[in-house]
Amino acid sequence: MTESQVGMAQGDGSPGIGLRGALVDIGRCQLLSLAALAVAGAGALVIGALLLLPLGIGFLLLPPAAVALRRISDRYRDRAARWTGTVISPPRPLPSRSTPPENPTGRHQQARALLGDHGFWHDLRWAWAEPATGALLAVVPLALVEYGLFGAAVQPFVWRLLGDGNWYAFIPVDSTPTMLAALLLGIGFIAAGLKLAPATLRVHARWSRRLLAAPHTTELVRRIEHLAGSRADILDVQAAELRRIERDLHDGAQARLVALGMTLAEATRLLDHDLAAARVLLHEVRATSQRALQDLRELVHGVLPPILADRGLGDAVRSLALDSHLDVRIETALPGRLPAPVESAGYFAVAELLANAAKHSGAPEVHIRLSHTDGALRATVTDEGRGGADPDGSGLRGVRRRLDPFDGTLVLHSPPGGPTTATLEIPCASSSPKTSSSSGTG
């Protein structure tokens, strides 16, 4: 999976917050520990099919076993994304049957194709590692909470019945003070388990990504496909831009210059016998030349705004805000000038997002933040509007096409009812000392 993509933010992509969130994370740890049984079962089924290959029956068992294992691994990829926001690139789909299911030859061909599929072996490697690593990792916070419950909720009622030799952790529970100490220690174990659960889920997701991510060759193929697609998009955008410039020149400045020439010719003809009329025409020539000059300036502004070229992205976005009917608050934290292509892509992407907010959000105010951190330009456009933005709308598709050549990303979070937050990132490095005057909030 390439990183250049536009999508909705993951629904619950961050660990839970507060006690309720911690309890949810504990439930997720419980689910992971139980799901490991299904993983082990699917892995054992695949191994059994592989061992039966010499007898022939393995060719019949291997395809459905591989499909079952892939379904389980896909569920783990989905959980990692929803629970922790960790995206695990899936492998290519498993080889499918090219003949009807009842055809044994087709089954044999599918099984042989599976044996040569890197994604299948990745799934199998993960199936053997997950019960011994991921599941045990998920059990740690569970064990803390359950052992803590025994100390906090059970020991106070049973310590008299258990008599001598009743220990809780390192505490001999044989009196009321030691029972209270066990109770407090149990509460501590519960708190530690709840605190550890979100971190455990994140570690488990990172570990799963190491094992479940698509093979390197698959990533390379996807990368090539993405670059080929980006190149085609760039060519399409360039062709469309040339057509727009040609049309604007033909209908604007060129038409005015033609009219200007005809008016000048008429004024020249009138100079000899009607000086007043010639003077009027010359005034028209002057006005027409000014309008032609304004057309050319607007055309240049559409290609590369002069303020962007002269003063950088921060001031250019500030000028966008001045032209908008919305109340736009801008916060910039840019260390200096960025590469010109990056500034241009960021400027027009922010302009499109601001235009979308003005057209569709219904919000009176928009907040734009520009920053450069970890080697990437980040721009966030937030409005308090009605939300429900379509990530596949034409405007956002245009933003995506601008970001694709830079391996940029755009994440849109726009639940119905709002607010809407669009965050774009473009990998780049700052190229020169700071020249923008727009740092700060305005």
pLDDT in tens, 346-371: 998 998 898 888 888 888 899 999 99
16 — pLDDT class (breaks 50, 70, 90): very low
Cβ distance 45 to 68 under 8 Å? yes
Q: What is the mean pLDDT of the chain?
A: 84
Instruction: For 32-66, give the DSSP string.
Output: HHHHHHHHHHHHHHHHHHHHTGGGSHHHHHHHHHH
Q: Which amino acid is at 324?
A: S
Cα-flanking dihedrals φ and ψ of residue 437, to 5°? -105, 10
For residue 399, how far is the Cα from the chain centroid?
Answer: 14
pTM for the structure as a whole: 0.60
Helix (H) or strand (E) holding 196: helix 176-212
- Mutual orientation of helices 18-51 and 176-212 as an angle, nearest 10°? 50
Tokens at 434, concatenated? 């700071």
| 401-433 residue pLDDT tens | 888 878 888 888 888 887 899 999 998 865 554
Q: How would you label 73-93 residue by residue, b for 16+ Cβ within 10 Å and e otherwise?
A: beebbebbbebbebbbbbbee
Helix (H) or strand (E) holding 327: strand 327-333
Cβ distance 402 to 361 under 8 Å? no
* d(C-alpha 411, C-alpha 380), whole Å: 10
Closest of 364, 335, 337, 349 to residue 395, by C-alpha: 349
Q: How many residues does the chain have?
A: 442
Cβ distance 292 to 285 under 8 Å? no
Spell out the alpha helix ranges (H) of 249-274.
254-270
Q: Which amino acid is at 70?
A: R
C-alpha dist (Å) from residue 371 to 331, 349, 352, 383, 435: 8, 15, 18, 18, 15
| 35-86 residue pLDDT tens | 999 999 999 999 999 999 888 888 888 989 999 999 999 999 999 988 988 8
